[in-house]
Structure 1
């Protein structure tokens, strides 16, 4: 139903494909938490929870995810152990069917130089993956290693690396020549010393593109945008990109205040005449409503031309959902807004599926709205309390969103922990809610894929081919 609502909202007339079913059993950086830290590496078949960290292009649309094993897990010290750990990461990504993400996104996967010999035997979607190579003590950038890289590149493999991890190795420039991306991490202590590279490397290697990690302020983003060779910065990651940026225009289409007022009237069980009056005050909103109601996905035998009949056919609950999604599409031409919308859809779907585990459909519906509205303040460029005030939401939703309390607080916190890759928090919340890590992994990745399908089928598309 939600895909249909979203598709009708944006004018898609074809029926939407069914959402992916949740399966019991989704980066320093993204992370993978070990399923059993007590087990030897060679006995662990896969890692427990895999989260993704979004990478955005210059328009701030999510086009890729990054996956890496946290160094703090501390088990992979030798080259042999690191190779085993890398294999565990790839096995886990396969077991989760994470590569289904790559129909809509690209993946940056961290691997050690020690694993180069293993790559040729891996069955991976090469066109959609970039492998971020990391050095360990004892690694040597010799002719043999460079030759292995050349062979892999000729077979279609793509690579990235972070110059800060290679120190003053004289052969590092030969490595960079074989890379597709270089990584500049603004959280690394020696990042400032790398700034001369921003002038030198683009001149020497014009094909190189830069991935800027941990952009946590407007100043750091501005540095990427205006530094020498800034045109080579192609991808960005960081907390600053996870919030709505100031509007460049006050234009609203349709009027967000009108949408919020109609939602408030629906929650207050206002008579149809009051709701109809609000639609009549916004011609664009009325047009969108009639276009959705009359779209083929609703299968009506005749054309509906009145607001009252539209409300009757949709029902108040479905109309409320439709308006909820409309709030998140008024700035669909803005990359930052699309990123917020995608994150909200992931949260909503994930929380909805958590509710369905308990077999309570009404609770699941309310959990979906909790996730969807969790970023409403950021989207509307106001406080969360002000954004939610007109909606008169059920106390369970409002208490979770405004006070982090009540029945829905724990599911929301679990969604945030998954999003932020907080493995300790995920484990404690799973235990408190009696959910396994495998279930959470499956539900979260399903939610990520579902959100991408919704956006893609609704003509909200990101340019992943440019990665």
Structure 2
């Protein structure tokens, strides 16, 4: 009998909050939640192999590293030789007790080019025996108090490893790790940052929002043109985009009216939503956040289409996913951010309280990001099998990687 499991990923960042890779997360589709991040994962091998066969080696990680949790059986399996070693970091649980045979096997995998990460590390854990073979060591910021965390981080400085703080979920967690000079971070803090106090929306954002509202209201072409003519940067980006999109037409588009005619309001609206979440006034919006928003949008759209909903409704699912990080983009509560957009009530309720069909779909996508226990139940409520959902997920992630955000 084939195994069903859900596939997700979580960004791993360097000290400058730039993406270096993703940890791949798995959740079985059965009601049992015993499989977690550090389980043997033998049941998930079939899922990963099938995904590789469907999507190729850049299916989920683009040009980044893939951190894959491995147990004793998977370390010893021939399956690992199917993976691209220079792109894969084998993540070993601190609870794994090493044998001489296991140490020898890991040493061989290192010689092939695989990276090795020790997860939830402490010098007292059985897996400390792997330390001399490790490239990365992950320190769980929530498993000990700040003093113990500092002591462990300082002790590891004398080893040639990259120290990554994991389960970083709060401002305090992040600053503790940063002040100790750790080399990288992983955790929900970077996917769901704190909501900060409201601030003035910058002009370029304001014009983008104004255009979005005009397009949703099906305003006259002249009204849309009038906004574009007041924003040089926005106009430049639009003409660059539309000329790229119309490359096969053997013509250069140099007027707003021509650009709007070629694109149409629907495609222009889609482009503007992408622009809104992939740019910021100071250009410092982390790439991980950009990809998170766009991945959610595409995933929600594909789920809607898979469910047989018409394309115009699928567009609304796309918008819901895209705008699920508006509070992060504008550093203000989501309800306040939505006041600047003329969105349908159903989408607003989904974004604020995860209500309705859009909200349920958003919850499913969030569960896939986090690999949470309720993922199988959410998928069942939407009548989506694990295999179909994984294919949609990898398709969405591949689409986002192709955007080169």
Sort the TM-score into its range (normalised by shorter chain): 0.7 to 0.9
SS in 1 for 2:67: strand
Counterpart of 2:16? 59
Structure 1 residues 125 and 273, CA gap change in structure 2 (3 angstroms): same
The corresponding residue for 1:271 is 220
Q: Which of 387, 396, 401 is 1:438 aligned to?
A: 387
Q: Work out the CA distance in 2 between the residues paired with 1:188 and 1:325.
A: 38
1:244 positional shift? 5.0
> Relative to structure 1, is the Cα distance of residues 333 and 111 closer, same or farther in structure 2, using a 3 angstrom cutoff?
farther
Residues 1:157 and 2:114 are matched in the alignment: yes
Whose Rg is larger?
1
The answer for the alignment partner of 2:163 in structure 1 is: 210
Q: Please show how residues 30-109 of structure 1 align to structure 2 within 5 Å.
A: 45-67=2-24, 73-74=33-34, 85-97=40-52, 99=57, 100-109=59-68
Number of aligned pairs? 393
CA positional deviation for 1:126: 0.9
1:121-200 counterparts in 2 under 5 A? 122-134=81-93, 136=95, 139-140=97-98, 142=100, 144-162=101-119, 164=121, 167=124, 172=128, 175-189=130-144, 192-200=147-155
Alignment of 1:39-438 (within 5 A): 45-67=2-24, 73-74=33-34, 85-97=40-52, 99=57, 100-113=59-72, 115-118=74-77, 122-134=81-93, 136=95, 139-140=97-98, 142=100, 144-162=101-119, 164=121, 167=124, 172=128, 175-189=130-144, 192-203=147-158, 205=159, 207-227=160-180, 230=181, 233-244=182-193, 255-295=204-244, 297-331=246-280, 334=283, 336-357=285-306, 358-424=308-374, 426-438=375-387
Task: Give 3-state SS (helix, strand or coil) of 1:255's partner.
Answer: helix
Tell me, in whole angstroms, the C-alpha distance in 2 between the residues paired with 1:289 and 1:452.
21
TM-score normalized by structure 2? 0.85
Moved more, 149-158 or 185-194: 185-194
- Choose 303-312 or 411-420, whichever is displaced more: 303-312
Q: Are the structure 2 counterparts of residues 366 and 159 from structure 1 closer, same or farther at C-alpha, using a change threshold of 3 Å?
A: same
Is contact 2:195–2:332 with CA below 8 Å preserved after alignment? Answer: no
Q: Render the CA deviation track for 1:256-278: whole Å, top value 9, x for unaligned.
A: 01111121122223222222222
1:64/1:106 contact within 8 Å kept:
yes
Counterpart CA distance in 2 for 1:69 and 1:431 is 17
Higher relative contact order (CA 8 A, sep 6+): 1
SS at match of 1:291: helix
**Pair 147,289 (structure 1): closer, same or farther in 2 beyond 3 Å:** closer
Deviations along 1:183-214, one digit per CA (max 9) or x if unpaired, are 101121477535323222222x2x21112101
Would the alpha carbon gap of residues 193 and 290 (structure 1) be closer, same or farther in structure 2, given more than 3 Å must change? Answer: closer
Distance in 1 (CA, whole Å) between partners of 2:21 and 2:361 is 26
Structural RMSD (CA): 3.2
**Segment of structure 1 superposing worse, 394-403 or 123-132:** 394-403
Show structure 1 runs of 5+ residues with no match.
1-43, 77-81, 461-467
- Asked if 1:451 corresponds to 2:405, the answer is no
The two structures have a TM-score, normalised by structure 1, of 0.74
Q: Distance in 1 between matches of 2:341 and 2:251?
A: 33
Which moves more between the two structures, 379-388 or 238-247?
238-247
Name structure 2 gaps, 5 residues minimum.
none
Contact 2:19 2:288 in 1 (8 A): yes
